[in-house]
Chain A
């Protein structure tokens, strides 16, 4: 079970970049761990070497709503990107467009990807840049993002929203259909490949 998500208010962090791929969110060498913890260290680690980078500015300390340019989370399928963001303390990412796999991964972990039209993202970015430490409220029931005077609607698909609101995890949802999976399996053609210890190694 995940923690249900209904609404969240927290410090907004403006990351004025487009096309932030998952290699930037967390570089590959942080991916070697075998547990699910400690990934916040790797979050944007190359950019964090720069003292002026937004996460290094005291005004944005404790930020939990990341507001950023379009095409956030493109690139590899590494879910570590979502873990890194969440373990750092982010609950919501606001962008005009997300990489498909990243968006899927986020929904499963309880990180809300709020798709806001680019002109509104731009207004929120300016607001946060001019008012470090300003809060942003994201309401999943209403699908709205509020920052200062800015009220913006956001998109998130109904199914992800329902799951987030109820904190439901995918595997338990799927296992309700175990009978249908059994039925489907009994109808699969005989020629589809199967790999067992006996067939696993090709002849040497």
Chain B
């Protein structure tokens, strides 16, 4: 019987297998950032162990960096960034610092540098490592002890995952984005639905997506409970990788291509579970609650908790509505937001910025509303500036920031105030995620931009009037 993509990658990385034990899997690439690594390095030092393969390890600064110029004022953040720098120097690891080309959110720089390639095993002490699965790599988040384990051994003991096919067939309607696909998937299978599985996204709608779009989808696999999401590598993948700094060259490229092409799920392979979604029926999705599964199409209303059959779901919905300060029956389009955040490892890539800029071009954000645009990496920032997108954002009244995780999580200076409401292109709407008692609605970049203009949750289709040709100064 044939094998799935995930099974092929797994099988090609088994170092040791024994009855009753987890498989010992080789790790091709280990991405490191400042938050989940200091205690791992501390552990190595205490045990007198070296890093086995510094050349398969790359570090960047993202979670704690301010996205404005100037020194890092928070002493604790500074300590953590300094610790990373020191640890990398001590153990011989390449480290991408703030303000340097190559720095950015860990899941944005891996693909950008061509480090993320099909068939690889990739780990990072961050749950959104699933992003890299867009290239047909088996990529997943690990905890700090596992970070230490990989640093010391370049392997991880792991139990095989089950496989789930998420098949999205058909053509996406205009204005519907990859973010809407994944929000719809999570809505359908629930935040625990993917637990224990590797998800493989397939079907014509997925094949039609750019690498950026595939990354957005794989990124949020963890929000469905799955540790990894994958897309089979194809011509789109190869074209993206060609000539990236770390992509194979010459004869190596040909050898790599041959292996990459062999990775696709065999026609006679079977999945442990399958979900089928009709792309033509999708519309923009927005969340109303405090987990990414609590969402509705933008055209609908805040649901009534009483409409949930399941007792747990009903209680969760009641608590979420109280936290979010929303009434059942309120049309989603009437919900006014204070802030719009465009960025994160979900939607902070160049394509996301282009999409939003197209909507904002020649228009102004609503009075009193704050919009933050934060590129996912320094390279994305430079590319956007080369295309003049920064101008579009600033002329629309948005703030153009330096690369980092920014307002995706309440850790660096970019945070919401208590009760502040935000339309965010990030991946988590948990209580307090963007700052204590803050309220988050997850949206796509196009919806984020339209929302910024109208002040209430909106899609570009709601912008009936064409953009005025000249922008009057505020």
The verdict on A195 contacting B56 (CB below 8 Å), with A28-B411, A189-B256 known, is yes
Please measure, in the bound complex, the distance between the C-alpha atom of A76 and the C-alpha atom of B125, giving whole angstroms.
Answer: 9
Please measure, in the bound complex, the distance between the C-alpha atom of A125 and the C-alpha atom of B80, giving whole angstroms.
Answer: 39
Give chain A residues whose Cβ lies under 8 Å from the Cβ of B256. 189, 191
Q: Is the CB of B227 within 8 A of A100?
A: yes
What mask results when residues 25 to 45 of chain A are scored 1 for a CB within 8 Å of chain B, else 0?
Answer: 001110111111000000000
7 cross-chain pairs, A with B, having the tightest CB-CB distances, nearest first: A200-B94, A105-B143, A34-B38, A191-B248, A79-B143, A191-B252, A79-B144
**Chain B residues engaging chain A, CB cutoff 8 angstroms:** 15-16, 20-22, 24, 26, 28-29, 35-36, 38-39, 42, 47, 49, 52, 54-58, 64, 74, 76-77, 79-80, 83, 94, 96, 100-102, 113-115, 117, 120, 125-127, 141-146, 148-149, 152-155, 157, 159, 191-192, 195-196, 225, 227, 245-248, 252-253, 255-256, 259, 291, 312, 315-316, 379, 409-411, 428, 430-433, 436-437
**Chain A residues engaging chain B, CB cutoff 8 angstroms:** 18-19, 21, 23-24, 27-29, 31-36, 46, 69-71, 74-80, 82, 97, 99-101, 104-105, 108-109, 157-159, 170-171, 173-175, 177, 180-181, 184-185, 188-197, 199-204
Q: Is the CB of A174 within 8 A of B149?
A: yes
For residue A39, give the distance in angstroms from its CB to the closest CB of chain B. 10
20 residue pairs from A and B, CB less than 8 Å apart: A19-B291, A23-B430, A23-B431, A27-B432, A28-B409, A31-B411, A71-B191, A75-B428, A78-B35, A78-B36, A78-B143, A79-B143, A79-B145, A108-B145, A174-B152, A188-B26, A192-B120, A195-B58, A201-B94, A201-B96
Please measure, in the bound complex, the distance between the C-alpha atom of A3 and the C-alpha atom of B155, giving whole angstroms.
Answer: 24
Q: Is the CB of A101 within 8 A of B145?
A: no
Please measure, in the bound complex, the distance between the C-alpha atom of A104 and the C-alpha atom of B436, giving whole angstroms.
Answer: 28
Give chain B residues whose Cβ lies under 8 Å from the Cβ of A75. 127, 428, 430
The verdict on A77 contacting B20 (CB below 8 Å), with A97-B195, A193-B29, A202-B245 known, is no
Q: Is the CB of B411 within 8 A of A181?
A: no
A-B contact count (CB 8 A): 207
Q: Smallest CB-CB separation from B58: which chain A residue?
A: A195
Given contacts A32-B64, A201-B96, 6 further A-B contacts (CB under 8 A): A28-B410, A31-B411, A159-B22, A177-B24, A195-B115, A201-B94
Q: Is the CB of A34 within 8 A of B55?
A: no
User: Which of B24, B38, B142 makes the CB contact (< 8 A) with A101?
Assistant: B142
Q: Is the CB of A191 within 8 A of B253?
A: yes
Give chain B residues whose Cβ lies under 8 Å from the Cβ of A203. 245
Q: Is the CB of A34 within 8 A of B410?
A: no
For residue A113, give the distance in angstroms from its CB to the closest CB of chain B. 13
For residue A94, give the distance in angstroms from its CB to the closest CB of chain B. 17
Give chain A residues whose Cβ lies under 8 Å from the Cβ of B411. 28-29, 31-32
Give chain B residues whose Cβ lies under 8 Å from the Cβ of A105. 143-146
For residue B314, give the distance in angstroms from its CB to the closest CB of chain A. 11
Q: Is the CB of A34 within 8 A of B80?
A: yes
Please measure, in the bound complex, the distance between the C-alpha atom of A34 and the C-alpha atom of B39, giving whole angstroms.
Answer: 6
Give chain B residues whose Cβ lies under 8 Å from the Cβ of A32. 35, 64, 74, 76-77, 79-80, 411
Q: Among A19, A70, A77, A203, find the residue whose CB has the most chain B CB atoms closer than 10 A.
A: A77
Give chain B residues whose Cβ lies under 8 Å from the Cβ of A31. 35, 411
Q: Is the CB of A76 within 8 A of B47?
A: no
Q: Is the CB of A35 within 8 A of B255?
A: no
For residue B191, give the distance in angstroms from its CB to the closest CB of chain A. 6
Q: Is the CB of A177 within 8 A of B248?
A: no
Q: Among A33, A80, A185, A193, find the residue whose CB has the most chain B CB atoms closer than 10 A.
A: A193
Give chain A residues whose Cβ lies under 8 Å from the Cβ of B54. 196
Give chain A residues whose Cβ lies under 8 Å from the Cβ of B315. 18
Q: Is the CB of A100 within 8 A of B195?
A: yes
User: Which of A158, A177, A192 makes the CB contact (< 8 A) with B28?
Assistant: A192
For residue B93, give the distance in angstroms from its CB to the closest CB of chain A. 8
Give chain A residues whose Cβ lies under 8 Å from the Cβ of B259. 189
Q: Is the CB of A99 within 8 A of B225?
A: yes
Please measure, in the bound complex, the distance between the C-alpha atom of A110 and the C-alpha atom of B55, giving whole angstroms.
Answer: 31
Q: Smallest CB-CB separation from B154: which chain A residue?
A: A181
The verdict on A101 contacting B127 (CB below 8 Å), with A75-B430, A158-B20, A181-B153 known, is yes
Q: Among B21, B55, B80, find the residue whose CB has the most chain A CB atoms closer than 10 A.
A: B55
Q: Is the CB of B47 within 8 A of A196?
A: no
Give chain A residues whose Cβ lies under 8 Å from the Cβ of B255. 189-191
Please measure, in the bound complex, the distance between the C-alpha atom of A82 and the C-alpha atom of B225, giving whole angstroms.
Answer: 18
Give chain A residues whose Cβ lies under 8 Å from the Cβ of B64. 32
Q: Is the CB of B143 within 8 A of A77?
A: yes
Please measure, in the bound complex, the distance between the C-alpha atom of A100 and the C-alpha atom of B140, giving whole angstroms.
Answer: 11
Please measure, in the bound complex, the distance between the C-alpha atom of A40 and the C-alpha atom of B126, giving whole angstroms.
Answer: 21
Please measure, in the bound complex, the distance between the C-alpha atom of A99 and the C-alpha atom of B223, giving whole angstroms.
Answer: 11
User: Which of B114, B192, B410 makes the CB contact (< 8 A) with A193?
Assistant: B114
For residue A182, give the distance in angstroms from its CB to the closest CB of chain B. 10
Q: Smallest CB-CB separation from A82: which chain B residue?
A: B143
The verdict on A193 contacting B246 (CB below 8 Å), with A170-B149, A181-B153 known, is yes
User: Which of A71, A184, A189 makes the CB contact (< 8 A) with B192?
Assistant: A71
Give chain B residues whose Cβ lies under 8 Å from the Cβ of A174. 24, 149, 152-153, 155, 157
Give chain B residues whose Cβ lies under 8 Å from the Cβ of A189. 255-256, 259
